[in-house]
Structure 1
Amino acid sequence: MCLGIPGQIVEITDESRLMAMADVSGVRREVSVACVATPDLKDLIGEWALIHVGFAMSVIDADEAAKTLDALRGLGEAQETLEAMAQGDAALTGAVQEVTS
């Protein structure tokens, strides 16, 4: 399964190589915009795109980007909760073993 993460194109870094800077949740990284290129690459500045392994795969609207970012944050929070529960279970199991030993 592939996961595309919304990022906003903030500048064109190399027109000849179809490269741009994308802001992905506050982290900037250079990505290829070859898959979403327009005749004037500067038209992409400010647009949201799904970013996957260094490529802007498709342009999406701001609402879809916000919903996807919220869902990804929710998944992260769910993962943190599961890890905390697992740590609690491990601690409880260790305490039970100490009492029964």
Structure 2
Amino acid sequence: MCLAVPGRVIAILDDAPLTRRAEVDFGGVRTTINLAFVPEAAVGDYVLAHVGVAIARLDPDVARRTLAELGAPAPPEPAA
């Protein structure tokens, strides 16, 4: 079974179209993923990620509900 999980974009690391990468927080675990399929994703957005690739941008309420259903903590809100 495969699972895609929501995470919050913390920083954009590379903005080239095919190699666009970001640091993403998955409930306290931060990792780098590819954002080529979601070029509109920005810092603070939630994305749905599968095997190191963001496959969709998520509404924040949907992301929080999904994390709650999975029993995972939501990443903290970014500092203003």
Q: Structure 2 length as normaliser, TM-score?
A: 0.79
- 1:3-60 deviation line (CA, Å, top 9, x unaligned): 111100111112222011100001110000011013xxxx611100111110111000
Larger RCO: Structure 1 or Structure 2 (Cα < 8 Å, ≥ 6 residues apart)? 2
Letter in 1 for 2:6: P
Runs of 4+ off more than 4 Å? none
What runs of 5+ residues in structure 2 fail to find an aligned partner? Answer: 73-80
Structure in which a larger fraction of residues adopt strand? 2
Aligned length: 70
Q: Structure 1 length as normaliser, TM-score?
A: 0.64
1: distance between equivalents of 2:35 and 2:57?
10
Q: 1:71 maps to which residue?
A: 69
SS in 2 for 1:35: coil
1: distance between equivalents of 2:32 and 2:44?
15
SS in 2 for 1:34: coil
Larger Rg: 1
1: distance between equivalents of 2:2 and 2:53?
12
Letter in 2 for 1:67: R
**What percent of counterpart residues are identical?**
37
Alignment of 1:39-54 (within 5 A): 44-54=42-52
Q: CA RMSD in A?
A: 1.5
SS in 2 for 1:67: helix
